[in-house]
Structure 1
Amino acid sequence: MSRKLSLRWWGAMGLCVALSAMAQERPADFKSLVPLSLSGEGPWYRLELPLGVQLRASQADLRDVRVFNGAGELQAYALARQQAQSTEQRNLSAVKWFPLYNSAQAGDSPPSVRVQSNANGTLVQVQPSTQLEAGEEVLRGWLLDASAIKAPLQQLVLDWVSEHDGFQRFSIEASDDLQHWQPWGDGQVARLSFADERIEQHEVALPGQTARYLRLLWQSPQAAPTLTAAQLQSSTTSSQPSPLAWSQPLAGSVAKPGEYSWQLPMGLNVERVRIELKQANSLAPARLYGRRESSLPWQPLGNGLLYRLTQNGQDVQHNELQLPGQTVQQLKLVVDERGGGLGAEAPNLEFAVRGVQLVFLARGDGPFTLALGNSAVSAANLPLSTLIPDYSPQRLKDLGQARVDGASQLAPVATKDPVAPASAGPDWKKIGLWAVLLLGVLALAGMAFSLLRKPEAKP
Structure 2
Amino acid sequence: MKGIAKIIAMAALWMALPGFAEDAAPDVPQDYAWGMHLKSEGASPFWQIALPTQVYEQSVWPDFRDVRVFNSKGEAVPFALTLHQQRPKPAPEPVALNVFPLDIKHVKYEGQNSLTVKMPGGAEVHLDGDDTSRISQSFLMTLPDEQKSSLAVAQLRLGWVKLAQNWQAKVDLYSSADLKKWQLLVEDAPLMDLTSGSSQLRHDTLQAGVTLSDEGPRYLLMTVFDAPENINVQSVEAIASAADLSNANIYLSAHKESAEASVAIYSWVNPQPLTALAINPGKENEVLPVEIDYRRRADDLWLPLQKTVLYRVSEMQSEPVTLNGEMVQAIRIKGINASWGDTPPEVQGLRASQALVFIPQGTGPFMLTWGNKAAKPQAMALDMVIPEKLRGQYTLDSLPVATEADTVTLGGEARLTAVDPAERRSQWMTMLIWGVLVIGVLGLLGVAYRLWREVKNKP
Instruction: Give the TM-score, by structure 2 length.
Output: 0.49
Instruction: Give the TM-score, by structure 1 length.
Output: 0.49
